[in-house]
Amino acid sequence: MSTLNFARTAYARPEAPARTPRSIEYDLLARITQALGNAWQDRKQNFPALAAAISDNTRLWSTLAADVADPGNALPRPLRAQLFYLYQFSEQHGRKVLAGEASVEVLVDINTAVMRGLRGDQGASA
């Protein structure tokens, strides 16, 4: 399922309780992170699924980067810079994964760390 479809699903369900932007971001990260892990395990049998998962991850990070680059974003400037750097790194690393030069492990780690930050876990860094 693409990032756009995730967003449509999250926003289109009238029976779902009201959700915060943070909870939606968390849900998208969780789904994409799970898809990355699953696709990595099956990469030899289903490379297109890995390519789709990398693409979804890159699109999500691109959206987050655009948000933190907006001058009106209320996050502290250093955090915004760190999140933008994570977008750049994730995009570059995703290309390496697709070229067979790297694994998805670090992408999963990054997404998981950001999810911890969205949950407000102590000691989490983004």
pLDDT tens string 71-95: 999 999 999 999 999 999 999 999 9
Question: For residue 14, is pLDDT > 90?
Answer: no
Among residues of the chain, what percentage have pLDDT more than 70?
83
Sign of CA dihedral 94, 20, 126, 69: positive
Confidence of residue 4 (pLDDT cuts 50, 70, 90): low
Confidence of residue 5 (pLDDT cuts 50, 70, 90): low
Question: For residue 117, is pLDDT > 60?
Answer: yes
The set of residues, in sequence order, having a beta carbon less than 8 Å from that of 1 and lying 6+ positions away, is 9, 31, 56
- At the topology level, CATH places domain 3-119 in Four Helix Bundle (Hemerythrin (Met), subunit A) (1.20.120)
- Measure Cα distances from 84 to 72, 75, 78 in Å: 15, 12, 10
Q: What is the pLDDT of residue 125?
A: 45
Query: Tens digits of per-residue pLDDT, 19-57?
Result: 888 889 999 999 999 999 999 999 999 999 999 999 999
Q: Phi/psi at 32 (nearest 5 deg)?
A: -70, -40
Query: What pTM was estimated for this model as a whole?
Result: 0.80
